[in-house]
Structure 1
């Protein structure tokens, strides 16, 4: 197994753990703990990327950003959702409300796509 793929899997495990604790992420203390973990993972990913001599970015570099992006998207979309519908959104469950699927899709797709978009649109510009 390639070390890059192994690091990607290790960097994405905290996303799975955080996604099962979405109710607890509403507490500021828990959210900042997860946010500090995500910043630590990003720093680790950047340090690993700087040590490699590849012209292309490693997949572990993008995996290290996913938890941070997941937390930011979750916080923003949850606040918007709660202000509009006056209830907590359901993530990854079979809900009777179809609007919860939009919340789930925005979290899932945004977490997967945004690291690549940020790198191609912002990082490569500098």
Structure 2
């Protein structure tokens, strides 16, 4: 949960680098929250077997959640691209259906670029582990 909160604290920070762990933990909690909200909407309208329409309030809450987390999602994706030594402009591949997201998935699974690059020091570098381990203990 601390990784999710770290990304939200860096709401619109497109500078720097994001480790794989930061990126994937954010998306894990993102998916869990969306599934939880979706289940609440489904069960508040009578469940899976019901023909009732979902409540407007639930759909509005889900839509607002998407809007609120849109910028942090893009920002952590750009920082993850920076960590693989790629420009954040590569994120525009999402415009290309299927292929673009697949290429970004491959980039996001790649290991960090060793050493520093123009976006900063390697977050997994020597001496940086203590900073990462302090997340949530402050």
Question: Same fold by TM (over 0.5)?
Answer: no
* Structure (1/2) with the larger helix percentage: 1
Give the structure-1-normalised TM-score: 0.39
Q: Which has the higher contact order (CA 8 A, sep 6+)?
A: 2
Give the structure-2-normalised TM-score: 0.36
